[in-house]
Amino acid sequence: MIIDTHCHLNDEKLLPMADEIVNGFSSHGIESAICVGYDMPSSEVAVQLADKHEKLYAAIGIHPHDATTADYDKYERLASLSSSKKVVAIGEIGLDYHYDLSPRAIQKGAFREQIELADTLGLPIVLHVREAYEDAKQILFGSRRYLNNGLLLHCYSGSSEFVKIFGSLDAYFAFGGAITFNNAKHNLEAMKAVPLDRLLFETDCPYMTPVPHRGKTNVPEYISLVADKAAEVLNIGRTELEEITTNNAKRLFTRMN
């Protein structure tokens, strides 16, 4: 059984079928999944879904795209939502310099503030970092005293060198459908650099649909394709790799135990 550490059943594409998807987890070899928020409405829905379904958990936070909406009242609401034992992390938070939908200075501020919030709540953080690894490094090392509960780089797209750098912060790294793409050499090299006890899998559905379903809406059951590719590249048995990554997820997200 495998854990999908990052899905968006709270997305409008998947929400109408969320109950059906979760009810089908066992038939697709999925032990559980984490539904991740990216703004306040999606975080609210993630918690609602997690509270409804035994096999679903939630991460809550404000994505860098929406950093301009972050304020004290929203952090208070995130803190309140975290009282649910199904909330396992603060995320996805971080920096996105590809779209720059929020000014970079504001992204950095919201990132730092949510790192501190997570520490106050005793929760790990789930990071979205795109074309901003150097600045993310500076912020994480500058906030090191608040990194007491673990961190995960979701949909990791950085270099093998950054694996070593973030590894010094005891980071975990999650890989999804991108490792199945034809141009995945960079992602595969990075994945091979990750220690096995820090490796996780995800779908990021409805996005990042793996081969051979590219062009279709991604769903949690496609995580099997990610695991198959990783097992091939790492030359590890699929069953063993599932056990390793599931144990890793439960070590990082302690409320899943």
- 22-71 per-position pLDDT tens digit: 999 999 999 999 999 999 999 999 999 999 999 999 999 999 999 999 99
CA distance 47 to 86: 7
- Find the angle CA(159)-CA(2)-CA(24) to the nearest 5 degrees: 125
Average pLDDT over residues 176-198: 97
Q: What is the DSSP letter of 99?
A: T
| pLDDT tens, residue by residue, 116-139 | 999 999 999 999 999 999 999 999
170's tokens: 């005891």
Average pLDDT over residues 170-193: 97
| pLDDT tens, residue by residue, 95-121 | 999 999 999 999 999 999 999 999 999
CA distance 210 to 197: 24
Give pLDDT, residue 104.
98
- 181 burial type by CB count under 10 A (0-12 exposed, 13-18 middle, 19+ buried): middle
What element of type H or E holds 229? Answer: helix 223-234
Average pLDDT, the chain: 98
> How many helices (H) and strands (E) are present in the chain, helices listed first?
9, 8
- Cα 128 to chain center, whole Å? 8
Give pLDDT, residue 87.
98
Q: Are 188 and 233 in contact (CB under 8 A)?
A: yes
CA nearest neighbour of 19 among 47, 53, 60, 44: 53
Average pLDDT over residues 167-181: 98
pLDDT band at 83 (very low <50, low <70, confident <90, very high): very high
Give pLDDT, residue 145.
98
CATH topology of domain 2-256: TIM Barrel (3.20.20)
pLDDT band at 93 (very low <50, low <70, confident <90, very high): very high
Average pLDDT over residues 142-170: 98
To which residue do tokens 């970092």 refer? 129
Give pLDDT, residue 205.
98
pLDDT band at 12 (very low <50, low <70, confident <90, very high): very high
Give pLDDT, residue 135.
98
Average pLDDT over residues 214-233: 98
Half-sphere exposure of 136 (CA within 13 A, CB side): 27
27's tokens: 């038939």
Q: Which residues contact 188 (CB under 8 A, 6 or more apart)?
A: 179, 233
Q: How far is CA 72 from CA 35, 92, 130, 137, 233, in A?
A: 24, 18, 25, 25, 45
Neighbours of 184 (CB within 10 A): 18
pLDDT band at 82 (very low <50, low <70, confident <90, very high): very high
Average pLDDT over residues 214-229: 98
Give pLDDT, residue 23.
98
CA nearest neighbour of 97 among 67, 141, 61: 67
Give pLDDT, residue 66.
98
Give residue limits of the domains in the chain: 2-256
Give pLDDT, residue 110.
98
